[in-house]
Structure 1
Amino acid sequence: MASTPAGTGTVPEQLNRSMKYFPEASEEDRAGFLAAARDFVAQAGPKKVAKLPPIGRIQWHLAAEGRADELVEVLRYDRENPGVYQVKGLRRARVELPGVELGALPPLVKNLKRSELPVRSRLTDMEWRDGRLVLRGYAYVPNAPAATGKRSVRIAGLRKEGGGGSVPLRLKTVLEPKATRSAPGALHAYDWSGFEITIDPRRLRSRGRWQSGTWFLGIGIPRPGGLSVGRVYKNDAGRGGHSQVQVVESGVRVVAGFEEDCFRLTVDVVPAEIEAHEAVRDGMEVTVRSCPETTRGRAPVELRVDHPGSRTAARYPLENREGSYGDGWARSAACVPFADLPVDGVRPKKVQNSRVSIVFADGTSRRATVARSLRTGTYQLAGGREVAAHTDGAGTFFLQTRVVQPVVDRMRWTARGELSLQGTYPGPEEPLRLVLRHGTRHEEKVLPVEVADGRFSALVTPDAMETYGGTLPLRGGRWYFTFRAAAEWDHANDIPVTLRPDLVGTLPMAHKGQHRRYTVDRRFFNRFFLNSGSALSPQVRGGYRQRQLRETYYPAQQRLPLREAVLYNSFGGKQFSDSPRAVYQEFVSRGTDIEHIAVVADQQAVLPAGVRGVAWGSEEWYEALARSRYVVTNVGINDWFTRREGQVVVQTWHGTPLKRIGADLLGTPKANLAYIASLPRRSRQFSLFVSPNAFTTPIMTHAFQLKCEVLESGYPRNDVFHAPDREKTAARVREQLGIPEGKKIVLYAPTWRDDQRYDGKRFKLDQQVDLTAAEAALGEDHVFLYRKHNKVLDSIPGAGQGFVHDVAAYPDIADLYLIADVLITDYSSVLFDFAHSGRPMLFFTYDLEHYRDTLRGFYFDFTERAPGPLLKTSEDLVVAIRNIDSVSARYKEKYEQFVKDFCEPSDGRASARVVDRMLEIAAGE
């Protein structure tokens, strides 16, 4: 991908697109672009060109000079290694790229500025150990030669804010593969960029005395052309991402914390702090202790509480507490009435934090911090709310008004691999569920929780989470805990489960499961999560390790003999389903003596007995891809894959096309010219391309630029409609889903929306069906199965309440076709498959014009040929379901024509035809 200008915004979009696809352009288009690039660079001038990213300014310089061959080399290199390159040089650091004569480039183009050689750092762990602070993390200069062993030369030191001194530190180099795994690109290894630094806080004293001040940590790394110096940045979770406090002596705290995500150490000489709190009358009495030596006659006289949204602060006088405490500190106390605390706007996910300050006799004040002995606590308010005397990692004290929260005070891993949670919950006595919600996918797991007498308990077994057809490990990533009332429709009123603040130091808590590592850790101080680690071993994770496997391990495996095995790849291992599963069943029915191997992503597919799973990206996966006699896939195979002699590769694809794809997008802004240009080469890796019908064959041949045999066999996955045991299968599926006898089944299976996304390939659920209204109208005699597309994130509202069933995780949609009385879809290819059933279809096309005219475009007039009504509103949808018999009668002729056009052949023998041809090709026929 061509590098775009940074910070200039001066390159026209079309000119930038022409640069991006220059390798695929015709000679005429290339000449026109080179002339335009020359004018652009001349107009922009050297200074503006110098502001482009390093590879970007080389690309534009080559274009301006008409060096087309070198430009093509750089663009192709950048596609494979976006933003990644080699840094060389002695006195001056410069970019080095293959295929470019660097000597002919001006210094402003090839030389790197200091800002282009930053230190990339991350603090992975931080703890106070025996009175000293131990920091672990990694730091490297991107693209520069990386350290290769323990003796790498790096320096570290603390510098005081505002001047006033520096403290050199000893940096120990340690192995930290996380650095390589997290680095962009696959060109460099940074394993030995790990560091360990131990800081003795006594070195921060001035002339033997403690003085308040802030110190920042810097790390210097030698690289070509000089030394890069940078600060160390926090982690996004765990001990390396939260402030920690150490009391180094009475009245002196050292806070290891962060400012703008950069690590800093703060020495805090404490004149007064919050020591205790307790309920009195209709409020909370807060006790302050003060040190006469550090207050120097300016004793604390009041507490100031700043409430959110209020312009004026509430003030509460401190009254002295006479007596001898034996520790040299004086005590005073103030009462904060509960009635003064804000409750407006408090919701399950919305708290009100009131800031507390201690005001002294001379009018100065400081943010209240807590004594080491203080224990946080809660006080119950009316209306299911509470106020918490709370703190954070930096030891500040504040009052938090919130909905009553479950707080864990006991957590442990059992010998059976269960995470046991126990804690307090003085909330309303109503049926509750414990919900685990994925931090990025928003997927949910609902578990039972026992609540009684103000306490709760729950067990989580991450290695064996219930799913359709068995159990699976918890999907990789972070899972957060909430309480949800059993009657709630969605997650809007979920109540976060937190850890008691004084227990945050017990984290992380790790458990080694059967296939992966599970860790309890935290974010936002005491909001904890369960992290399900990668299913892949550390030795194969990350772009660099995968490149090694592709370039070294995979070719070595290809030199070994083929094995009589079939490798099935269904949706990149997200399922074991679709046509690959149907081909597997055909092999089994024949009793063929052959090994069956399935690609599995993140251990999230349930496999039949006798099928061996290989993890996507593992060594076993590369080996199976290189040595299996047969490969059956329904999605594209990586562009580095090469079919070897004697290997049979079958592309079944996954749908009759309604939306334009591949080369048929040429001439539209969505056309990926580099991908389209690669299609002939990609298709040559297939021995056989399966077509479901006569309509699809010419479309796929052109769209995918096929240079392989096309077999118009019908889709193997649609043999299910003719299977002799289909009634038995349907009964099993209904029972598995828990659908009551006599209920009609509505299956809703929409596609994704290209313009409804979080980022990249993470699409949002575009939920337009009014499920509440649908339940009111249909709930008595219908159930609603919601099958979101596998690219779509988010949970399904109403799932688990009896009417709506979330069946996104069901292994194969073909089974759901067998039980559905009505299908609702939009522009998804499921309509072509379900038409084999002869049962009615409804099309919820609320955005038809936008989708057709702006997002995708269709191969035929969908409005004229759709075998069912196109409905714009949820209300119309419900009415059509209620009157489905009359709707079906009205569309009978269109439906019959649709079946003739798109469902032939349809005789239950598609899998047999595919397997027959596979065996013929293997035999050389």
Structure 2
Amino acid sequence: MASRLDRVRGRLVRTLSRTTRHWRARTQLPEALFPVADDWVAELRSFRWLDDDRFEVTGWAYDRGVDYTGQQPRLQLWLELQSGIKRFVPLATSPSPSPEVNQSFNGATTSRDYSGTCFIAVGSLTDLRRLRTGQVWQLRAGVAVPGHEAQGRFRKHYALGSAGYLMAGRRGGAIVIPTWSAGGLTLEVRADRPVATDLELTPEGGIRIDVESADGITEAALVAEDGRVPLQIVRADGRSFLEGPLPTLPDGAWSQYRVVARVDGAQLPVVVASAALIDAHPLLAEAGEGSGLYLNVGGPWALVTGVALIGADQPCLEVVGKSSGDLSQARFELANERDVRAGQLTCDGTDFRLVVPFLQSKWNLPALPPQIGRMTLRAFAADGTSLQVRCSTAVVELAPSSELNYWFRLYYAVGAGRTLAPRLEIPLRDDEIGTHNQARIQADYLGGVWPIIDQMYFESFYGRQCGCSPLALRNELAERHPKVPRVWAVRDLSVAVPEGDRAVVDATTDWWRARAESRWLVVNDWLRARFAPRDGQTVMQTWHGTMYKKVGLDRGEQLDAEEREFMLGERKKWDLLLSQNPHSTRVFRESYLSNPPIYEEGYPRNDLLVNGDPAPIREVLGIRPSQRVILYAPTWRDDRTELVDFLDVNRLAADLGPDYVVLLRAHSRVIRVGSAAKVADGVIDVSTYPNTTDLLLISDVMITDYSSIMFDYAVTGRPMIFFTPDMDEYRDQLRGVYLDLEKVGPGPVVSTQDEVLDALRRIDEVAAAFAARYAQWQADYTPWDDGGSSRRVLDRYLVDAPPADPAILD
């Protein structure tokens, strides 16, 4: 007796065989029902209507457990009726390979290549035939290679593009509404929905909507969160019209109204099923949730109708659109959590053009792009009031396409409320994107394709900045041995690299090559799994601070077996270690079971604290010569990713008055995941300033908690305050510590904001009270920080790891 699966498979085959010769000529039919895969991955990237009948979808679909590398799978999409007798209507499906599918966030975490599973498919409402209200068609996909077939629904979609902003289609009297639900993407057939076929503004400033409905409309209205405006129902020449005044809003206000109608006792949305209707009234009409007709009322506001990346060396985002009301005095900006780029606006009647330069100078550095991540286009009136900015259907349909230039790759995207929200990513070429391409490049790296050369590679905090001791050693090398090529690994090109040095962006081929061919590697944090030491290379681990909080194996039960193994594996990659003091040397030996040579020579980064001039730095930051500088520099926490904000720096600055300035320095681990602090007058957020040592040099007093910066600041001899409201939790639960600050610390340990303020107001008295402790602290932890550490360390390094060509040091 045939199984249920055999019966379903037979129905699919019989259904497909009944399709017309025209359809069969334009697509390849699957011969059988694909089995459902346990590791099924399917994502719809876009959905758009090509005309009144045909729609196009793109995306990918695959079984994660199957290796498709080097193959072109057979792909097929179809619509499957979810009720009654099963019906299957295939879509014309073609492969459309893309490396984006291999990004790890899509589940492809191996070196397998899934690019052949990407598709472009076209469906037709005509092919559905016999549409009846209540029918629900589910979009499904199948993929097959010799020996394996799989199928499933679409569980994911790219919500920042057309796959997330769906519009209905129409055939005859039936409306087909695409919808996302737990069942994936479905097309629901409704013949009972009133449909807007045209609309116009009346001479009196009202609205007139031409509506078709199979059943009579008994009531209609415009509905918003803040009110409801009834509409009259006018019938003429066999047609129905909804008429009424548009709501009157206060000057500058904007709101969006849904058009609803009561049909057969139920309130239903008036549906829009024609892009032409929206295009004819772009500032007024919009297709919203469930393809309902929404009307934009009030203003002024801006509709973005086109966007493009222009300029190669000086990239800009060009935005064109239409305005409702006068935008000539408006201020536009493209912004993320930490970066803002102002736009240059020109208006011509209701048309506007905006050009937003991506490169901008900060801290007196060369012009650089924002850090990678999502940005949003915002607009403000002259009085600072936020203005509405929304994207047209044409802009929605740009997503998720991307454009590449030297500085970054820009992905078009539309965020909540149809805001323009492009995403900047590192500038990977197509042949560098995704785990498959990365594995191929890594194979070249491991295979020794690139020979070792006399070049010095620097990396600071995983490429988040060019600073710390690697920068100090770089400066010493550039001054004394300028012939040696210098290269910096950076997370993205928002990181400022010293003049004369070359930046290589993480994961690019140039980055892999620089790691492979550099004879000397100077880093201040872990190199992690992607680094494999080569004969002829010498890695100097400068580390990034004397240890107050416990590190390595000293963390004990906080580490699981996998973390311990990874930590010890990382330690084996270090040929030399740099230590600031005897305490650090002892901790390195014990906590990492480390036996390589240790240079106990003080920290190169602290040479600046002995030899540097604070005046130019204060000038860059806009600090008056007479102002006293208070630096607040907390460390990060293992249990949170955002800025540690126990201290209200705005309140502190207000309490201290105009003769003081407060510098806020977030830890490097949080500046790329947390929002910038909202700072008031008297406070400067210096979290993205490239070199922390500069900030120590100009500060009169430092407030910290458990940061290793407490040891570096002792070189200045200036007062410190330890603000530690979570001391018990941090010491006993989160991390564990080596020292008891309350017993040996060089400054007061306080737990409230009032205590911080009191200590600052009595700072001379406080400093005198802790003078003996401070002197002992310096003797214990900064005995070698005498301004000559960089020279001593570089000399030892080049002796222990000499160049292949000694002349390069001349």
The answer, yes or no, to whether TM exceeds 0.5 is yes
Distance 1:702 1:224 in 2: 55
In the other structure, the counterpart of 1:570 is: 460
Distance 1:403 1:766 in 2: 39
1:423 CA displacement: 6.1
1:735 CA displacement: 2.1
> 1:528 is paired with a residue of what secondary structure?
coil
In the alignment, structure 1 residue 220 sits paired with structure 2 residue 142? yes
Question: Counterpart of 1:797 in structure 2: which amino acid?
Answer: A
Distance 1:389 1:831 in 2: 60
- Structure 1 residue runs of 5 or longer lacking an equivalent are 1-113, 379-387, 757-762
1:656 CA displacement: 0.4
Q: 1:696 to 1:890 in 2, by over 3 A?
A: same
1:243 CA displacement: 0.7
1:839 CA displacement: 1.4
In the other structure, the counterpart of 2:288 is: 392
Is the Cα contact below 8 Å between 2:391 and 2:418 reproduced in 1? yes
Pairs aligned (count)? 755
In the other structure, the counterpart of 1:798 is: 678
> 1:610 is paired with a residue of what secondary structure?
coil
Q: 1:486 to 1:577 in 2, by over 3 A?
A: farther
Aligned pairs (5 A) from 1:8-407: 117-130=38-51, 131-146=53-68, 148-150=70-72, 152-164=73-85, 165-181=87-103, 182-206=106-130, 213-222=135-144, 227-232=149-154, 233-247=156-170, 253-260=175-182, 262-269=184-191, 271-273=194-196, 275-276=198-199, 278=201, 285-291=206-212, 295=214, 298-304=215-221, 316=230, 318-320=232-234, 322=236, 329-335=239-245, 355-360=258-263, 362-370=264-272, 372=274, 373=277, 391-392=287-288, 394-398=290-294, 407=303
Is the Cα contact below 8 Å between 2:220 and 2:232 reproduced in 1? yes
Q: 1:238 to 1:465 in 2, by over 3 A?
A: farther
Aligned pairs (5 A) from 1:411-450: 411-414=307-310, 417-421=315-319, 434-438=332-336, 442-447=337-342
Distance 1:400 1:467 in 2: 42
In the alignment, structure 1 residue 582 sits paired with structure 2 residue 582? no
Question: Counterpart of 2:534 in structure 1: which amino acid?
Answer: R
Distance 2:656 2:324 in 1: 38
1:195 CA displacement: 1.6
In the alignment, structure 1 residue 810 sits paired with structure 2 residue 733? no
Aligned pairs (5 A) from 1:886-925: 886-923=765-802
In the alignment, structure 1 residue 786 sits paired with structure 2 residue 664? yes
In the alignment, structure 1 residue 540 sits paired with structure 2 residue 432? yes
Distance 1:468 1:498 in 2: 35
Distance 1:775 1:288 in 2: 58
Q: 1:740 to 1:425 in 2, by over 3 A?
A: farther
1:690 CA displacement: 0.6
Distance 1:456 1:225 in 2: 57
Aligned pairs (5 A) from 1:482-497: 482-483=378-379, 497=389
Distance 1:564 1:684 in 2: 23
1:449 CA displacement: 6.4
In the other structure, the counterpart of 1:774 is: 652
> 2:758 is paired with a residue of what secondary structure?
helix
1:210 CA displacement: 7.3
Distance 1:883 1:427 in 2: 57
Q: 1:686 to 1:770 in 2, by over 3 A?
A: closer
Question: Counterpart of 2:634 in structure 1: which amino acid?
Answer: P
Is the Cα contact below 8 Å between 1:408 and 1:422 reproduced in 2? yes
1:813 CA displacement: 0.6
In the alignment, structure 1 residue 876 sits paired with structure 2 residue 752? no
1:140 CA displacement: 0.4
1:648 CA displacement: 2.0
> 2:795 is paired with a residue of what secondary structure?
helix
1:578 CA displacement: 0.8
Question: Counterpart of 1:753 in structure 2: which amino acid?
Answer: R
Residues 271-296 of structure 1: CA distance to partner in whole angstroms, max 9, x if unpaired?
Answer: 44374365898xx84433234xx53x
Distance 2:247 2:801 in 1: 83
Which of 442, 445, 454 is 1:554 aligned to?
Answer: 445
> 2:291 is paired with a residue of what secondary structure?
coil
Is the Cα contact below 8 Å between 1:567 and 1:628 reproduced in 2? yes
Distance 1:299 1:394 in 2: 21
Distance 1:640 1:546 in 2: 10
In the alignment, structure 1 residue 733 sits paired with structure 2 residue 647? no
Q: 1:454 to 1:809 in 2, by over 3 A?
A: farther
Question: Counterpart of 1:481 in structure 2: which amino acid?
Answer: L
1:356 CA displacement: 3.9
Is the Cα contact below 8 Å between 1:145 and 1:223 reproduced in 2? no
Distance 1:906 1:857 in 2: 27
Distance 1:369 1:204 in 2: 20
> 2:43 is paired with a residue of what secondary structure?
strand
> 1:695 is paired with a residue of what secondary structure?
helix
Question: Counterpart of 1:803 in structure 2: which amino acid?
Answer: G
Question: Counterpart of 1:633 in structure 2: which amino acid?
Answer: V
Bigger drift between 270-279 and 185-194 goes to 270-279
1:693 CA displacement: 0.5
Is the Cα contact below 8 Å between 1:124 and 1:136 reproduced in 2? yes
In the alignment, structure 1 residue 848 sits paired with structure 2 residue 727? yes
1:575 CA displacement: 1.2
In the alignment, structure 1 residue 633 sits paired with structure 2 residue 633? no
Q: 1:186 to 1:317 in 2, by over 3 A?
A: closer
Question: Counterpart of 2:656 in structure 1: which amino acid?
Answer: L
Residues 528-565 of structure 1: CA distance to partner in whole angstroms, max 9, x if unpaired?
Answer: 11222332223233333333333x2113227x643111
Q: 1:779 to 1:546 in 2, by over 3 A?
A: farther
Distance 1:806 1:870 in 2: 24
Question: Counterpart of 1:717 in structure 2: which amino acid?
Answer: R
Residues 822-843 of structure 1: CA distance to partner in whole angstroms, max 9, x if unpaired?
Answer: 2111111111111111111122
Aligned pairs (5 A) from 1:817-832: 817-832=696-711
Bigger drift between 478-487 and 182-191 goes to 478-487
Residues 82-130 of structure 1: CA distance to partner in whole angstroms, max 9, x if unpaired?
Answer: xxxxxxxxxxxxxxxxxxxxxxxxxxxxxxxx88724201112333235
Q: 1:403 to 1:662 in 2, by over 3 A?
A: farther
Question: Counterpart of 2:698 in structure 1: which amino acid?
Answer: I
Distance 1:180 1:260 in 2: 25
1:903 CA displacement: 0.8
In the alignment, structure 1 residue 747 sits paired with structure 2 residue 653? no
Q: 1:153 to 1:289 in 2, by over 3 A?
A: same
Residues 19-63 of structure 1: CA distance to partner in whole angstroms, max 9, x if unpaired?
Answer: xxxxxxxxxxxxxxxxxxxxxxxxxxxxxxxxxxxxxxxxxxxxx
> 2:127 is paired with a residue of what secondary structure?
helix
- Structure 2 residue runs of 5 or longer lacking an equivalent are 1-34
> 1:318 is paired with a residue of what secondary structure?
strand
Bigger drift between 508-517 and 525-534 goes to 508-517
Q: 1:332 to 1:267 in 2, by over 3 A?
A: same
> 2:609 is paired with a residue of what secondary structure?
helix
1:647 CA displacement: 2.3
- Calculate the TM-score normalised by the size of structure 1: 0.74
1:307 CA displacement: 5.7
Bigger drift between 910-919 and 734-743 goes to 734-743
Q: 1:517 to 1:625 in 2, by over 3 A?
A: closer
Distance 1:389 1:487 in 2: 28
Q: Using CA pairs below 8 Å that are at least 6 residues apart, which structure has the higher relative contact order? A: 2
Distance 1:771 1:156 in 2: 57
Bigger drift between 507-516 and 600-609 goes to 507-516
Q: 1:502 to 1:622 in 2, by over 3 A?
A: closer
